[in-house]
């Protein structure tokens, strides 16, 4: 991308090498067994990737959304699962503590999270409330110097392996009366429930967080009571921009595998790349990938420069994620088609790319919800919510 700084380019090179060395050798087995690459996480800590957007003053790398998206794209091209876990840790948990936490919370929690000693996650979704997140039922009731939490969060990335969770709970009756609590493994009344078995993103453990009269000290509340809505929505925008990087990575890898195959595989005495229908798939895939790449990094750059109002940022983030997610799924499907029978087997990674890419149309806001976010900004709330 033309506006990548020297620092961005260095980062890209470093993460590309890291992905080849630490992620590539293990992903097939981890995908098969639904494992987790803890060693890679620790090494990401050594590289300074885990607190990528946290200020240097607070022990982070002090980098921007463009940098975070570069990391997602480079790691996502090799192992989308570990990258999803990285996103939940670095953007949904660590970044949020860095942006919204008190000095004491940052001092207490960030060193372990940034070094990789502790794994982070974020709890918003619930069994009955996914897209309708503000309907959440998990309640926090104040009792003296602490809160008592009851409820269940579900589909939480890193739930089964995490140590520190940035969790939202209702502290009033109104839909917007939401507060944030940091819940740590080992706290009384907190457990990580069942782990889900998934079609894709299989090396990114997903599970439940269960609060059963869980006592959380007031010092673990982030921000004022009932004031978390804005912080939650703002982070969703950053999540949607940076997660688009994973879609870009998956698509890039799929195009590379399919193109190589089209040059080498012969049918009717010619490379299959000589057939116009194969050329069309590759040309369309490559063009859509480039369009999404421009849109995603443009959104990240505008975010970094503060060039968008809150609603514009939500629309841009939504557009980037909506297009990149659909593009990645379609490009992975096209790669399978180009590889024919081999594409359908585990001999090649394209079937994994397709399984992983599909999550990009569901997590962090489904395609349907993103279309509503975009339409609201274009048509106005009065029309869209009429």
Ligand X SMILES: Cc1cc2nc3c(=O)[nH]c(=O)nc-3n(C[C@H](O)[C@H](O)[C@H](O)COP(=O)(O)OP(=O)(O)OC[C@H]3O[C@@H](n4cnc5c(N)ncnc54)[C@H](O)[C@@H]3O)c2cc1C
Site string for ligand X, 66-95 (x = CB under 6 A): ----------------------x-------
The stretch among 17-25, 124-132, 259-267, 322-330 that binds ligand X (CB under 6 A) is 124-132
Distance CA 28, CA 36 (A): 12
Q: How large is the angle between the packed helices 310-343 and 367-379, nearest 10 degrees?
A: 150
Three-state SS at 164: strand
Residue nearest to ligand X (CB): 130
Asked whether position 271 contacts ligand X by CB under 6 A, the answer is no
Give the integer Cα–Cα distance in Å for 140 and 28: 41
Cβ at position 192, least distance to ligand X in Å = 12
Per-residue binding letters, 227-266, with ligand X (x by CB under 6 A): ----------------------------------------
193 interacts with ligand X by CB under 6 A:
no
- Count of residues of this chain found to bind ligand X when the rule CB under 6 A is applied: 22
Numbers of helices and strands, H then E, in the chain: 13, 10
CA dist., res. 196 & res. 33, Å (int): 13
Beta bridge partners of 211: 151, 190
Q: What is the dihedral of CA 85, 87, 88, 94, to 10 degrees?
A: 120
Stretch near ligand X under the rule CB under 6 A, chosen from 42-50, 208-216, 350-358, 364-372:
364-372
- Select from 9, 368, 379, 383 the one that contacts ligand X (CB under 6 A): 368
Residues noted as catalytic? 239
Enter the tokens of residue 363.
């997590």
Give the C-alpha separation, 14 to 331, whole Å.
26
152 binds ligand X (CB under 6 A): no
Q: Tell me: does residue 156 bind ligand X (CB under 6 A).
A: yes
Residues that bind ligand X (CB under 6 A): 88, 121-125, 130-131, 155-157, 198, 201, 206, 359, 362-366, 368-369
């Amino acid at each position: 991308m033309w506006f990548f700084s020297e620092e961005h380019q260095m980062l890209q090179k470093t993460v590309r090498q890291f992905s080849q060395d630490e992620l590539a050798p293990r992903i097939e087995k981890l995908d098969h067994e639904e494992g987790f690459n803890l060693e890679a996480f620790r090494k990401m800590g050594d590289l300074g990737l885990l607190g990528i957007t946290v200020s240097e003053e607070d022990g982070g790398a002090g980098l921007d959304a463009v940098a975070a998206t570069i990391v997602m794209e480079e790691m996502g091209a090799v192992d989308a699962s570990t990258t999803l876990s990285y996103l939940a840790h670095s953007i949904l948990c660590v970044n949020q503590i860095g942006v919204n936490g008190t000095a004491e919370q940052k001092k207490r929690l960030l060193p372990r999270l940034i070094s990789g000693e502790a794994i982070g996650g974020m709890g918003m979704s619930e069994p009955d409330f996914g897209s309708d997140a503000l309907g959440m039922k998990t309640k926090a009731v104040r009792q003296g110097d602490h809160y008592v939490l009851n409820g269940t969060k579900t589909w939480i990335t890193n739930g089964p392996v995490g140590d520190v969770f940035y969790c939202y709970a209702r502290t009033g009756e109104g839909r917007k009366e939401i507060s944030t609590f940091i819940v740590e493994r080992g706290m009384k009344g907190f457990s990580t429930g069942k782990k889900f078995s998934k079609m894709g993103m299989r090396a990114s453990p997903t599970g439940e967080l269960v609060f059963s009269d869980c006592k959380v000290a007031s010092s673990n509340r982030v921000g004022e009571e009932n004031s978390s809505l804005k912080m939650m929505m703002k982070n969703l925008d950053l999540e949607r921009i940076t997660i688009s990087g994973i879609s870009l990575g998956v698509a890039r890898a799929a195009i590379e595998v399919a193109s190589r195959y089209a040059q080498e595989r012969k049918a009717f005495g010619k490379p299959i790349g000589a057939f116009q229908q194969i050329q069309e798939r590759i040309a369309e895939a490559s063009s859509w990938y480039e369009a999404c790449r421009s849109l995603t990094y443009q959104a990240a750059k505008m975010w970094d420069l503060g060039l968008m109002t809150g609603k514009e940022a939500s629309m841009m983030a939504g557009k980037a994620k909506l297009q990149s997610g659909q593009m990645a799924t379609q490009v992975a499907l096209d790669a399978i088609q180009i590889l024919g029978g081999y594409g359908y087997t585990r001999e090649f990674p394209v079937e994994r790319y397709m399984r992983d890419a599909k999550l990009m149309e569901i997590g962090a806001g489904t395609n349907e919800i993103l279309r509503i976010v975009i339409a609201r900004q274009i048509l106005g709330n009065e029309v869209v919510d009429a």
